């Protein structure tokens, strides 16, 4: 009888594991002998293998005990190059006898200047050329050249081109002397004077004279800028993932695709076609139990002609956490496109937990339709979670079958899951009891 009870318990355990599905395992790292904060980063494909729902994830130690974890959406630093202006004060403007124009200006003593600065001329003067030289004065009063071969110009009348910027390295200088090659510009002005003699009513002579005018060069204003890398904070990291789809309609000037993501949340969709050149209006619809919900419409296009390449094929959508997708492609009178893949954008998640050597080997799996676990380790992990000594673990090969919930998450599917397990266990119990009685 005892032997049959052991067999029954083994079958129940095996059935319980079967309801969970595949898993990733983690061996004990080399030279690991203390208790540390550990982190597991899941790629889109790994997340998909584990069912694609963060609430379902479960982590077990070598003895099968639950290891509490804290989930975070991995972020990356977002930085952009922006032009930042530094205030300057013009202290003197001179016109030396050699015909040049000198402008003396300075910045605040505590101004933070970058390695490379940009001096911008704001002028309405057209058609000119100016050689530019720039000196800087250090705190000890010594003057040194910063740029001796600068050049600004405007050639609007002959060619629509302008350069009104001078790049230089200010070093430790905060006082500057700018020299322009010409304080005034020589302009040609055609004046026509006529000496008229008439013979039989016809004009016989015309004299034309050319005069020259001096126009002061109006520098307008000077601005000092720099290109700096500005930290815009951190943004959540998302990654593209290929998901299953099928063509449900290709007629009446429209192609409709049914997409089964199986991974959530999503915030973008990108249909991939075999054709290189196309432009189509695409609508993405969320298929829910209560009906359809339009997520957005966009014009997707791709151009690849004679070395020219342009692509706008990804469509952002409001973040969704449930339901399949329907993609409607407006072909109109164009030949239908041939879809070869559908990519969706899924989050890159990290599981952070307290790892001890006795926990290994670890098992990471998922329970379909399970509710989000409530653990009490967030505050502890937060204390040591940013440590440079954090243990980064990478999953081995996925073992078993991909975890898939055939029914959308909710109370009813979970009841059916437990009911199915209960019926299976009851059926095996009845069979074992009948076998025992027959043997007796």
Q: Give DSSP secondary structure letters for 355-404.
A: E-GGGPSEEEEE-TTPPPP--S-HHHHHHHTT-TTPEEE-----BSPPP-
Burial class (CB in 10 A: 0-12, 13-18, 19+), 103: middle
In this model, does residue 419 exceed pLDDT 60? no
**What mean pLDDT comes out for the span 267-283?**
95
- Reported as type and span, the H/E element at residue 18 is helix 2-20
Q: Classify the phi-psi angles of 215: left when phi > 0, otherwise alpha if psi is within -120 to 50, otherwise beta.
A: beta
Q: Measure the CA–CA gap between 29 and 391, rounded to whole angstroms.
A: 9
In this model, does residue 267 exceed pLDDT 50? yes
Q: Measure the CA–CA gap between 50 and 59, rounded to whole angstroms.
A: 11
Q: What single-letter DSSP state applies at residue 32?
A: -
Stated length of the chain = 440
pLDDT value for 424: 58
With tokens 């000496």, the residue in question is 195
- CATH fold group of domain 82-230: Jelly Rolls (2.60.120)
Tokens of 282: 């695409």
Superfamily of domain 238-347: Galactose-binding domain-like (2.60.120.260)
Mean pLDDT score of the chain: 84
**Range(s) of the chain covered by CATH 2.60.120.260:** 238-347
What lies within 8 Å, CB to CB, of 17 at 6+ separation is none
- pLDDT 10s digits, 216-236: 888 788 999 988 887 777 889
- pLDDT 10s digits, 303-352: 988 777 888 999 999 999 999 999 999 999 999 999 999 999 999 999 99
Q: Measure the CA–CA gap between 232 and 341, rounded to whole angstroms.
A: 33
Among the listed residues 8, 219, 228, the one whose alpha carbon sits nearest the alpha carbon of residue 101: 219
Exposure string for 231-242, b = 16+ CB within 10 A, e = fewer: eeeeeeebbebe
SS3 437: helix
Give the DSSP letter string of 278-334. EEEEEEEEEEETTEEEEEEEEEEEEEEETTEEEEE--EEEEEE-S-EEEEEEE-TTS
- pLDDT 10s digits, 91-148: 999 999 999 999 999 998 888 788 889 999 999 888 899 999 999 998 888 899 999 9
Q: Classify the phi-psi angles of 201: left when phi > 0, otherwise alpha if psi is within -120 to 50, otherwise beta.
A: left
Q: Residue 11: phi, psi to the nearest 5? A: -65, -40
- pLDDT 10s digits, 26-82: 998 888 888 888 999 999 999 999 999 999 999 999 999 999 999 999 988 888 888
Q: Find how far residue 349's CA is from the centre of its chain.
A: 16
- Reported as type and span, the H/E element at residue 409 is none
Q: Measure the CA–CA gap between 267 and 249, rounded to whole angstroms.
A: 25
In this model, does residue 395 exceed pLDDT 50? yes
Burial class (CB in 10 A: 0-12, 13-18, 19+), 28: middle
């Amino acid at each position: 009888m005892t032997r049959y009870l052991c067999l029954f318990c083994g079958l129940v355990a095996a059935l319980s594991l079967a309801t969970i599905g595949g898993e990733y395992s983690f061996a004990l790292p080399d030279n690991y002998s203390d208790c540390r904060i550990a982190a597991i980063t899941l790629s889109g494909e790994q997340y998909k293998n584990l069912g694609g729902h963060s609430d379902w994830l479960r982590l077990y130690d070598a003895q099968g005990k639950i290891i509490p974890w804290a989930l975070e959406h991995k972020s990356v630093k977002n930085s952009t190059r922006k032009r930042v202006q530094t205030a300057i004060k013009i202290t003197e403007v001179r016109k030396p006898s050699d015909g040049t124009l000198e402008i003396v200006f300075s910045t605040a003593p505590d101004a933070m200047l970058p390695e490379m600065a940009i001096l911008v001329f704001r002028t309405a003067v057209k058609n000119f050329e100016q050689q530019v030289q720039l000196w800087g004065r250090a705190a000890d009063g010594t003057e040194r050249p910063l740029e001796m071969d600068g050049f600004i110009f405007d050639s609007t009348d002959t060619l629509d081109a302008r350069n009104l910027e001078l790049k230089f390295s200010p070093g430790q200088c905060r006082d500057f002397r700018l020299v322009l090659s010409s304080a005034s510009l020589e302009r040609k002005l055609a004046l026509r004077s006529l000496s008229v003699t008439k013979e039989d009513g016809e004009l016989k002579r015309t004299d034309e004279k050319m005069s020259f005018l001096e126009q002061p060069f109006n520098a307008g204003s000077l601005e000092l800028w720099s290109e700096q890398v500005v930290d815009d904070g951190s943004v959540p990291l998302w990654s593209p993932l290929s998901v299953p789809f099928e063509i449900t309609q290709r007629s009446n000037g429209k192609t409709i695709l049914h997409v089964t993501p199986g991974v959530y949340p999503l915030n973008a969709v990108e249909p991939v076609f075999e054709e290189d050149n196309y432009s189509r209006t695409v609508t993405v619809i969320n298929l829910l139990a209560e009906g359809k919900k339009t997520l957005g419409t966009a014009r997707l296009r791709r151009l690849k002609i004679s070395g020219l390449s342009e692509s706008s094929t990804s469509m952002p959508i409001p973040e969704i956490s449930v339901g399949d997708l329907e993609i409607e492609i407006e072909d109109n009178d164009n030949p239908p496109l041939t879809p070869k893949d559908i990519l969706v954008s899924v989050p890159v998640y990290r599981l952070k937990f307290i790892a001890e050597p006795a926990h290994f080997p670890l098992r990471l799996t998922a329970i379909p339709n399970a509710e989000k676990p409530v653990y009490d380790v967030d505050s502890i992990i937060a204390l040591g979670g940013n440590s440079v000594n954090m243990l980064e673990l990478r999953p081995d090969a996925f073992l078993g079958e991909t975890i898939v919930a055939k029914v959308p998450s909710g109370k009813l599917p979970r009841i059916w899951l437990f009911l199915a397990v209960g019926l299976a266990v009851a059926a095996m119990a009845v069979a074992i009891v009948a076998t025992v009685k027959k043997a007796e």
